[in-house]
Amino acid sequence: MTTTEKKLSDVLSEFASTMLTDFPIQGILDQLVRRIVEVMPITGAGVTLISDTTSPHYATASDSTALQFEKLQTELNEGPCIVSYRTGNAVAIADLREERRFPLFVPRAIEAGLLAVFTFPLRQGEKRLGALDLYRDTPGPLSHDAMTVAQTLADVASAYLLNAQARADLADSYARAHATSLHDSLTGLPNRTLLLERIEHALLSRRRSGKTVAVLFIDLDKFKKVNDSSGHQAGDQLLVAVGARIKAMLRPGDTLARLSGDEFIIVCHELDAETLVEGIAARLSEALSLPFSLGGVAVELSASIGISFAEQGDDPEQLLHRADMAMYQVKRKGGAHHQRLDVREQDLMDYRESLQ
C-alpha cells in the first residue's frame, strides 16, 4: 500500500467510526478538510453547504486562504462549487487563468493567489448537500486517481452528513415531543407533571437552605360566564392573557403552571420569610382585577388564591393539595381574596364537591 493509499484508508476509517457516534457535524468537516490536504496534492480545501431554500453558506476550510476562497464564492454566489452543486458533477479547473465561466470569481481568486480549483459534489442519490473544494496555488491537473480519491471522500462525507442530520432531527423531534408532554398546549406553561417536578426540586432546595417554599393555587372567579357569554375561543384567549400577566410578575426562578380549566399554580422558593407571600398574593389579586381586552371588549375578572407553605416531610402532592383546599376556602367566602388553609379539610372537600 502506498503512502497516499494508507492516508486515504485512515481518513475513511475515521469517517466510518464517527458514523456510529454523536460526533458533531462541524467537527467532522473540520477534520475532513485538514486531512484531505495531507492526502491530496493541493494547498487548501473547503466545504460549502447549499440547499434549494437558502443561499450557499460556508461550512469549513483548512486554513485562512481556503476560507477566503469559500467565502468569495458564497458572497458572489458564483464559482465552481455552485456549478458542482447544481449539476451533480465534478468541476476541474487546471488553470484558472484560462477559465471564462466565472467572470466575477476568477479575477478576484487569481488576485488572492489561486490558480487551480477542483470541486466535487456532496450528494447521495438525488439528495444534494453542497460541494467539496480543493485549491492549489500552482496550475496543473489532478491525476485520474486523485480525482477518484477526492470524489470518494466527498461521497463518504455526504453519507456522514445525512446520517448526522438524521440523528439531529431525531433528537430535535424527541426534545419537542418531551417538551410537549410537559407543557400545557394552550398557554405553553408547565403542566401538572412538570409542576410536580418543580415542587420536588423546590422542596429539595428547602432542605439544604432552610428557606421558605410556597405554593399559590389561583382559580379565576366566574370564568365559566366568559365561556358561556363569549365562547370558548374568547375563553382560551383570556387564559393565555391571564398566564402572561401572572408570569410577568414573577421572579425568574419561580414556576407558573396551568392545571386544567382556569387553574394556575405558582411555586415560589428560596423566600426569606412566609410574610413575603402575602404581598405576592395581594399584588396578583390586584393585577388580575384589572380589565382584560378581548377583541376590543373589556373583561373584568377576580381570582381566589389559596396559599400553602412547605412543612417537614411534605411531598409535592401534599403541598399542592393544601393550596387547593385553601383556594376553596376562599371560594366559600365569596372569592376575590387569598389566604392559607385554616379550617377543617373535610368541610372544604364537601364544599368542593358541591360546586362540581
CA atoms of 351 and 356, how far apart (whole Å): 9
For residue 15, how far is the Cα from the chain centroid? 27
CA atoms of 223 and 283, how far apart (whole Å): 20
Identify whether the C-beta of residue 118 lies closer than 8 Å to the C-beta of residue 90.
Answer: yes
First CA to last CA across the chain, in angstroms? 83
As a three-state string, the secondary structure of 104-127 is CHHHHHHHCCCCEEEEEEEEECCE
**Could you tell me which residues come within 8 angstroms of residue 243 by beta carbon, excluding any fewer than 6 positions away?**
187, 189, 256, 258, 264
CA atoms of 347 and 344, how far apart (whole Å): 6
For residue 66, give the 3-state DSSP assignment. helix
User: Among residues 220, 215, 268, which one has the least CA distance to residue 241?
Assistant: 220
CA atoms of 72 and 46, how far apart (whole Å): 12
CA atoms of 103 and 97, how far apart (whole Å): 11
Identify whether the C-beta of residue 39 lies closer than 8 Å to the C-beta of residue 8.
Answer: yes
Identify whether the C-beta of residue 135 lies closer than 8 Å to the C-beta of residue 45.
Answer: yes
Catalytic residue of the set 133, 219, 262, 314: 262
CA atoms of 267 and 277, how far apart (whole Å): 11
Cell 453547504 locates to 49
Q: C-alpha grid cell for residue 41? A: 496534492
CA atoms of 265 and 187, how far apart (whole Å): 13
155 as an active site residue: the answer is no
**Residue numbers annotated as active site:** 262
